[in-house]
Amino acid sequence: MDISESVSMALKTLAVNRLRSLLTVLGIIIGNASVIAMIGVGQGAQRYTTQQLQSLGTNLLFIFPASGDARRGSPGGGNTLMLSDAVAIAQQIPSVKEVAPQISGQQIVTYQNNATRTSVLGTTSAYVSVRNAPVQTGRFPNPADVDSNALVVALGSQLAQNLFGDRPPLGESIRINNISFQVIGVMAPKGSSAGGNQDETAYIPLSTMANLIAGRNSPRGISVGSIAVTAQDEASVDIAEYQITNLLRLRHQLSGPNDFTVRNQRDTLDTANNVTGALTILLASTAGISLLVGGIGIMNIMLASVTERTSEIGLRKAIGASEADVLQQFLIEAVILALAGGVAGTALGVGAVVLVGIYTPLQTTVSVAAIALAVSVSGGIGLFFGVFPARRAARLDPIEALRSL
């Protein structure tokens, strides 16, 4: 019996039991759809994370107090980083382009009857370029504001919306920690990134934050929660990191472990990509378990089919069909079921990925490799789990089989 005839007979046999065939391939459909959706969404998440981190700049470094010495951005006297450290980095390290010291904390911000608890960041004018945070309207606190402890504030776009709604905020007064601040600017929408949601942050001069809000003064000067640094270019990042480490160890008179941590934004990007890639593989592997379940379902239904069609198998072998013909017949049926489930599951998975791309910020894509892998695995599962029922059918004794007539 040739292949085309076997395929035709297999299709007719499966068509007779449409509902059973549909229920049999349901596991394969769900498995394929899950694998493709998980890979597509995982790759979209990886792409989104990469874009968010790259928007900060690949030549960006962060300097934090070492864990155990101080809590990042929290008020208190245990900080090991000082404003003078930031000044020294800017003046003494040629591979550094700009430096933005920062003090952050959670405060109640109010305007008339609107109040919200949000992040307040004290920093310098260099923050705008270091953190790639452009001003939409108005201006950002400038060096004169820092020198004079000015009571001025620039609002993140979402914070401005929360406090003022559609009213223009420039020139209005808000209260931070019961101190009145004049709104001088509104930042362009930026979103969440390392360090929190910039759209919900209030930006004030570093000196004002240290003297009036956080109380970060010490006998050695103003202590800061972190220092953001940009290198001259991406090629200078490693050099800048090395030079910053040496300078701070010298300034802090260290002979043992560092009392600070320098974090390379490029390393953060690599770590994020590794994590999202591992999660994608984990989710796809978990979803792939349903493919295994679907394959077991195919084997189960094919075994039942062998039992039901014992007399048919005996009759075919009695009139000349060989074991190979019977084996081929049942294998083709199993592969058709698996491939049909693979095609339907692929369509469902692609549709899910497209919908996620439309309704979420993730830039999802469906790779041809993922589709080819899912469909080929489906066919392989059908072949693998169809072998045992097919061999059982092929080895039936025609005489014993005919007795069931």
Where is the domain boundary, 223, 238, 258?
A: 258
Closest CA to 115 of 49, 163, 155: 163
- More confidently predicted of 209 and 216: 209
Burial letters for 299-335: b for 16+ Cβ neighbours within 10 Å, e otherwise?
bebbeebbeebbebbbebbeeebeeebbbbbbbbbbb
163 belongs to a structural domain: yes
Shared domain check, 244 and 292:
no
Mean pLDDT to the nearest integer, 49-77 = 63
Dump pLDDT digits (tens) for 8-27: 766 777 777 777 778 778 87
- In the chain, the amino acid numbered 191 is G
Say whether both 30 and 74 belong to one domain: no
Burial 278-289 (b: 16+ CB within 10 A, else e): eebeebbeebbe
Would residue 59 count as lying in a domain? Answer: no
| pLDDT for the residue numbered 6 | 66
Task: Mark whether 159 and 189 lie in a shared domain.
Answer: yes
Q: Is residue 61 part of a domain?
A: no
Q: Are residues 88 and 36 in the same domain?
A: no
Shared-domain flag, residues 25 and 136? no
Sign of the dihedral through C-alpha 281, 286, 290, 293: positive
Given phi > 0 = left and psi -120 to 50 = alpha, else beta, which region is 112?
left
Taking residues 126-136, report their average pLDDT: 91
Query: What are 373-389's pLDDT values in tens digits?
Result: 777 777 777 777 777 77
Lookup: tokens for 81: 């980083």
List pLDDT tens digits, range 319-329. 766 777 777 77
Q: How far apart are CA 259 and CA 65, in angstroms?
A: 6
Count of residues in the chain: 405
In a domain, 58, yes or no: no
Examine the pLDDT at 405 and tell me if it is beyond 70.
no
CA–CA distance, 76 with 225 (Å, rounded to integer)? 10
pLDDT in tens, 332-376: 877 888 788 888 888 888 888 888 888 887 777 777 777 777 777
Q: What percent of the chain has pLDDT over 70?
A: 84
- pLDDT band of 91, cuts 50, 70, 90: very high
Give 215's pLDDT tier (boundaries 50, 70, 90). Answer: confident
**Domain-embedded: residue 62:** no
Q: How far apart are CA 338 and CA 27, in angstroms?
A: 9
Instruction: Check: CB of residue 166 under 8 Å from CB of residue 137.
Output: no
**Euclidean distance between CA atoms 218 and 76, whole angstroms:** 9
Question: Domain count of the chain?
Answer: 2
Closest Cα to residue 130, out of 101, 87, 104, 94? Answer: 101
Inter-residue contact 169 to 114 (CB < 8 Å): no
Task: Let me know whether 205 and 119 are in one domain.
Answer: yes
Pair (248, 112) in one structural domain: yes
Domain end point (choices 258, 283, 318) = 258
| Same domain flag for 157 and 36 | no
Count Cβ neighbours within 10 Å for each residue of 198-237 and write b for 16 or more, e otherwise.
bbbbbbbbbbbbbebbbebeeeeebbbbbbbbbbbeeebb
Neighbours of 64 (CB within 10 A): 21
The verdict on residue 199 lying in a domain is yes
89 with 203, same domain: the answer is: yes
84, 229: one domain: yes
Pairing of strands 179-187, 173-176: antiparallel
In the block, residue with structure tokens 């968010």: 52
CA–centroid distance for 209 within its chain = 34
CB 121 within 8 A of CB 104: yes
Are 189 and 246 part of one and the same domain?
Answer: yes
Q: Which structural domain range is residue 210 located in?
A: 67-258
Do residue 168 and residue 254 come from a single domain?
Answer: yes
User: Per-residue pLDDT averaged across 83-101, rounded?
Assistant: 93
Choose the most confident range, by mean pLDDT, from 74-88, 289-303, 338-352. Answer: 338-352
Residue 57 lies in a domain: no
Q: Of 258, 280, 299, which residue constitutes the final position of a domain?
A: 258
**Position 263 in a domain:** no
Distance CA 38, CA 349 (A): 9
